[in-house]
């Protein structure tokens, strides 16, 4: 049988390339009646901040052609409740628990990581840098390489756990941010976060989400994600985790060929909760038909 595990660092091996995408599975325990989480190699939690956040007012999700607009506003239960209410479930999960973290400034990120570091069941962090730095005039951490690098260096000083930096595509050249993250100590990159999008109800003439502009996810952004991964794979020496529009097994193979070592499945879970099982079956059949002994042999093998 094909070895479908993937190695992101010598001490960080995934049993298969499939992770959940942050925000699409909550904290994991909410969807156990629908999905066998053990089919995934890891869970990326909903983003956690130092203090609870109520997020943006509704409506904050809208279905659009080939995807979904969302403007949740990083709503979450906050660090203390996360540890009090979710640790028991997550600590029993056999896969990797990857905690997504956010903050309004560097100090908040540091405080969250410092407190989470005491939890042995946490395998890694995903640093969500698509949020505004209030001390830098509201610029997103992930849009300026100097600000991003400084944040990653501070977090690297705080932890030896595996650290993924999730980058926004809403920049001029994502490679500059990727290199800044790598140079500052990131172990891997997640490409990509959502793309700016908007939709209007033509009957009411009002935007379909309260913030007018939100983040577009789903199949519509897959070609954008693939393009960013192809460009970035040539420039960095750390693994890439592909995110954006994965709907089936062929999408996963495409992401691997582009240069991703693993992938995260997000929006597809909303309309097909059983997609993970279907994808694993596809990967195994594809590798068998192509006589591929090790899934890692596909990474970055697009012929350009």
Residue 209 within a domain: no
On whether residue 208 sits in a domain, the answer given is: no
pLDDT value at residue 133: 66
**CB atoms < 10 A from the CB of 17, how many?**
29
- Residue 28: the pLDDT is 87
Residue 226 in domain: yes
Active site residue 131: yes
Q: What is the pLDDT of residue 130?
A: 81
Q: If you search the block for the tokens 């990474």, which residue do you land on?
A: 299
- Which residues, including other chains, have CB under 8 Å from residue 303's CB and lie 6 or more apart? none
CA separation for the pair 254, 114 (Å, rounded) = 37
Whether 202 maps to a domain, the answer reads no
Predicted TM-score (pTM) of this structure? 0.96
Q: Which domain CATH number covers 127?
A: 3.20.20.70
Within-domain flag for 65: no
Q: Which domain holds residue 10?
A: 6-56+73-195+218-298
Catalytic residue among 66, 131, 287, 294: 131
> How many domains is the chain partitioned into structurally?
1
Mean pLDDT in consecutive groups of 10 residues from the start of the chain, 304 residues = 95 97 89 88 96 95 94 95 97 97 95 97 96 71 95 98 97 97 98 96 97 94 98 98 97 98 93 92 97 97 94
SS3 of 29, please? Answer: helix
Considering only CA atoms, which of 175, 174, 170, 179 is closest in space to residue 197? 170
Query: Do 237 and 185 contact (CB within 8 A), yes or no?
Result: no
Q: Alpha-carbon distance 153 to 139, whole Å?
A: 18
- In this prediction, residue 177 carries a pLDDT of 98
Q: What is the pLDDT of residue 25?
A: 84
Q: What is the pLDDT of residue 30?
A: 86
Domain-embedded: residue 303: no
Instruction: Give a yes or no: residue 163 inside a domain.
Output: yes
Residue 140 lies in a domain: yes
* pLDDT score for 4: 97
Please give the Cα distance from 209 to 212 (Å, whole number).
Answer: 5
């Amino acid at each position: 049988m094909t070895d479908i595990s993937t190695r992101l660092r010598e001490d960080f091996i995934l049993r298969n390339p499939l992770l959940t995408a942050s925000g699409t599975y909550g904290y994991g325990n909410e969807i156990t009646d629908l999905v066998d989480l053990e089919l995934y190699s890891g869970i990326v939690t909903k983003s956690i901040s130092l203090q609870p956040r109520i997020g943006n007012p509704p409506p904050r999700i809208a279905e659009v052609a080939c995807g979904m607009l969302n403007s949740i506003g990083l709503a979450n239960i906050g660090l203390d409740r996360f540890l009090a209410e979710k640790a028991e479930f997550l600590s029993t999960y056999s896969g990797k628990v990857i905690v997504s973290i956010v903050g309004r400034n560097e100090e908040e990120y540091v405080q969250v990581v410092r407190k989470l570091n005491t939890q042995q069941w946490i395998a890694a962090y995903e640093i969500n840098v698509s949020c505004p730095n209030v001390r830098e005039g509201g610029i997103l951490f992930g849009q300026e390489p100097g600000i991003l690098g400084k944040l990653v260096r501070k977090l690297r000083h705080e932890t030896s756990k595996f650290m993924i930096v999730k980058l926004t595509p809403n920049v001029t050249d994502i490679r500059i941010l990727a290199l800044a993250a790598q140079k500052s100590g990131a172990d891997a990159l997640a490409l990509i976060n959502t793309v700016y999008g908007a939709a209007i109800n033509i009957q009411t003439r009002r935007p379909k989400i309260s913030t007018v502009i939100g983040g577009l996810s789903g199949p519509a952004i897959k070609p954008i994600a693939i393009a960013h991964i192809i460009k970035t794979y040539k420039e960095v020496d750390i693994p890439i985790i592909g995110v954006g529009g994965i709907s089936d097994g062929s999408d996963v193979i495409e992401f691997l060929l582009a240069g991703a070592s693993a992938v995260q499945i997000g929006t597809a879970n909303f309309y097909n909760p059983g997609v993970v099982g279907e994808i694993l079956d596809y990967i195994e059949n594809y590798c068998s038909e192509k006589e591929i002994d090790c899934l890692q042999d596909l990474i970055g093998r697009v012929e350009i």
